[in-house]
Each structure stands twice: as structure tokens, then as C-alpha cells.
Amino acid sequence: MFPNWAKNILFLLVYMISGLVLVIIIEGLLSGAELTPLNTVVEQVVTHVRTPILTTLLVAVTRLGNPFILSFTAMLIAILLVVRNGRYYDATLLATAIVVAVVSLTVLKNTFQITRPGYGLEDFNGWSFPSGHATIATAFFFMLIYTFSDKMTSLKGKISLISGSILGASAICFSRLYLGAHWTLDILAGIALGLLSVSFTILMFNVFIENKRSLKNRISL
């Protein structure tokens, strides 16, 4: 739909903006003061909107949005892309983007080792920053849009894919805040890291693989 150079500019912008957001959050955490009020305000709002029905619903959402489940689903989709459609490039891109997100997430969690909030509805294990659910959900649903939007033959299909993906990622991110598993900054950092990982991977594939593949196809014709 768009020429490759236009896609590269778009994803470069996403990469730069998400990277800048992540850097600002990290600097705020290291300073220990500037961004802390945001965590406090959102915590107070969330604790006042909790209801038994909403809690049950969001517990289910957060379990479905487990990073392991989403990563496994992404790998399964990648396999199906190869087996059913022969889309080796798209499958490799999808799998690589998720791997980059997981590795980046693991490095940041073990680097900062920030403890989780004390108002959680459950006992959550592991470090808080950044949110693994937010990171992988953002990367997963972003890649779903990128992989399948061009294959949708109708505008309604494209809109359904995009809106459904945004809704899915948003629900998972909110569930982590609601349940007290993460601070607000953890969620924002996770979203930024997911976008950063995906945009970086797509840029690398577009620059170093897609252009060569397109050139090869033109020569073969």
C-alpha cells in the first residue's frame, strides 16, 4: 500500500518517539522524584473503581495476556504463516520482533530490579519495571496489524483488525494497573519498549532484507 521508503520513515519516527519516551521514564526513575506523583495519582484512582465483577473480568484478561502465552501464540502464528501460506519473510519478522521484545524486557527488568506496588490484589512475582504484559502485548498486537492488515480485502476488515488489536493491548495493560501488579510508569515503559522493539526489528528487516528481496524479485522477472 505504501512504498518501502515511506514505511521506513514511519517506523523510524515510531522508533525515535518510543525510545525518547522510554529514556524520559528511565531518567525520571533514576532521579527518584519527577514522575513519582503520576504513579500515586493513578493508584488512588484505580483503587476507587474496583468492583468484584470487574476484578474477575480483568483477572481473566491478565492471564490471557501472559507474556508466555502471547509469545507462544506469536510463534504458532509464525509457523502457520510458513506451513499454510509460505510466508517465510513475514513469519521470521514476527518471530524476531517478539524475541527482541522479550530479550529487551529481560535486560531492563534485571538491570533496574524495581519492586512491585504494595496495593496488588494478588501476590505477583518478579520485578515491576517495565511491565512484561504491556511490552509483549504491545509488540504482539502491533505485529498482528503489520502482518495481516495488507491481507485484508475490505476496509471493514482492516478497521476490525486495528481496533481489535488496540482494544486487546489496552485491556491487558489496564488489567495490570487495576490489579496492582505494576506502577503506571511500568505500563508506559512497557508500551514504549514494545513499540521500540517492533519498530527496530521492522526497520532492520526493511533495510537489510526487504530491499534485497525486492531487487531479487525484479531481476528474476
The SS3 assignment for 65 reads coil
Q: Residues 182, 116: contact at Cβ < 8 Å? A: yes
70-108 tens-digit pLDDT: 999 999 999 999 998 888 889 999 999 999 999 999 999
pLDDT of residue 211: 61
When comparing pLDDT for 118 and 185, which is higher? 185
Is the pLDDT at 34 greater than 70, yes or no? no
pLDDT at 206 over 50: yes
Question: What pLDDT, on a 0 to 100 scale, did the predictor assign at position 3?
Answer: 66
Residues in the chain, overall count: 221
Mean pLDDT rounded to a whole number for the chain: 86
pLDDT of residue 215: 44
What mean pLDDT is predicted for residues 187-215?
A: 85
Per-residue confidence (pLDDT) for residue 22, from 0 to 100? 93
Q: 128: closest CA among 88, 187, 73, 78?
A: 187
pLDDT at 216: 43
With H, G, I as helix, E, B as strand and everything else as coil, classify residue 5. Answer: helix
pLDDT at 217 over 70: no
Measured distance CA(11)–CA(146) in Å, rounded: 11
How many other CB atoms sit within 10 Å of the CB of residue 199? 24
User: Poorest-confidence range of 23-27, 118-122, 154-158?
Assistant: 118-122
Q: What predicted TM-score, i.e. pTM, was given to this entire model?
A: 0.87
Tell me how far apart the alpha carbons of residues 191 and 22 are, in angstroms, rounded to a whole number. 9
pLDDT one-digit tens code per residue, 107-155: 999 998 888 887 666 777 788 899 999 999 999 999 999 999 888 788 8
User: Grid coordinates standing for 55?
Assistant: 476484578
Q: State the average pLDDT over residues 195-206.
A: 93
Whole-angstrom Cα distance, residue 218 to residue 221?
5
